[in-house]
């Protein structure tokens, strides 16, 4: 497993925030996020804002922190003004452990992706809190969705 220092994460976020190039023709994006934390999800938003026509988004999560620092809902609310997922139809999220950042990201996508058809969630076999997985699944199933056609597909990683 490769390690990424917090300083690198911060500089990567700043690098993505400063992107001047737009990826208008980008329709499909696959990302591997090494750490599941706030800066990782902010980096995702920085990149996706530059791809306004993104339709298919595959995201594989890497290392997960055992304890959540808490999710600042104001950070997510600020992303709403940008309309980041307006053309998104398909999301595949892999290696999910149901931490607060993942749950907030899932909820955000379901609320913002008006064209969403499929949101596929693959739970990690190394779920840090397996006793909470059933509760998380029930919560995610109740999240409001912008797209009436949005289907949740939930399974385990092979």
Q: What would the pLDDT profile of 108-152 be if each residue is shown by its tens digit?
A: 899 989 999 999 999 887 765 657 778 888 899 999 999 999 999
Q: Is residue 70 part of a domain?
A: yes
- The whole-angstrom distance between residue 86's C-alpha and the CA centroid of its chain comes to 15
**pLDDT given at position 10:** 42
Averaged pLDDT, 38-44 = 74
**How many independent structural domains does the chain possess?**
1
Closest CA to 157 of 68, 67, 62: 62
Q: Is residue 1 part of a domain?
A: no
The domain in which residue 59 lies consists of 24-156
Averaged pLDDT, 49-59 = 91
Mean pLDDT of the chain: 77
Averaged pLDDT, 96-116 = 88
Closest CA to 99 of 68, 139, 78: 68
pLDDT digits (tens, 9 = 90+) for 60-74: 988 655 555 555 556
**pLDDT given at position 125:** 77
Distance, in Å, from the CA atom of 54 to the CA atom of 8, rounded to the nearest integer, reads 26
Q: Is residue 18 part of a domain?
A: no
Q: Is residue 55 part of a domain?
A: yes
Burial of 98 (0-12, 13-18, 19+ CB in 10 A): buried
Give percent of the chain with pLDDT exceeding 70.
67
Reduce the DSSP state of residue 113 to 3 states and report it.
coil
pTM above 0.75, yes or no: yes
**pLDDT given at position 100:** 80
- The whole-angstrom distance between residue 114's C-alpha and the CA centroid of its chain comes to 16
Q: Is residue 6 part of a domain?
A: no
**pLDDT given at position 83:** 74
**pLDDT given at position 61:** 86
Model confidence at 105, in pLDDT bands (50, 70, 90)?
confident
Q: Is residue 118 part of a domain?
A: yes
**pLDDT given at position 38:** 66
Q: Is residue 117 part of a domain?
A: yes
Query: For 44-58, 60-74, 79-93, which range has the lowest pLDDT when averaged over its residues?
Result: 60-74
- The DSSP code for 69 is -
């Amino acid at each position: 497993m490769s390690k990424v220092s917090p300083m690198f994460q911060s500089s990567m976020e700043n690098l993505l925030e400063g992107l001047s190039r737009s990826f208008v023709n980008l329709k499909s994006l696959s990302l591997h996020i090494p750490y599941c934390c706030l800066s990782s999800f902010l980096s995702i938003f920085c990149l996706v804002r530059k791809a306004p026509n993104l339709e298919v988004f595959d995201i594989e999560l890497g290392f997960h922190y055992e304890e959540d620092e808490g999710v600042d809902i104001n950070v997510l609310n600020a992303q709403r003004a940008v309309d980041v997922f307006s053309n998104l139809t398909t999301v595949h999220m892999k290696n999910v452990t149901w931490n607060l950042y993942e749950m907030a990201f899932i909820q955000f996508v379901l609320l913002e992706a008006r064209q969403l058809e499929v949101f596929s969630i693959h739970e990690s076999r190394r779920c840090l809190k397996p006793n909470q997985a059933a509760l998380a699944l029930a919560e995610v199933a109740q999240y409001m969705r912008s797209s009436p056609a949005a289907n949740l597909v939930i399974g385990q990683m092979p």
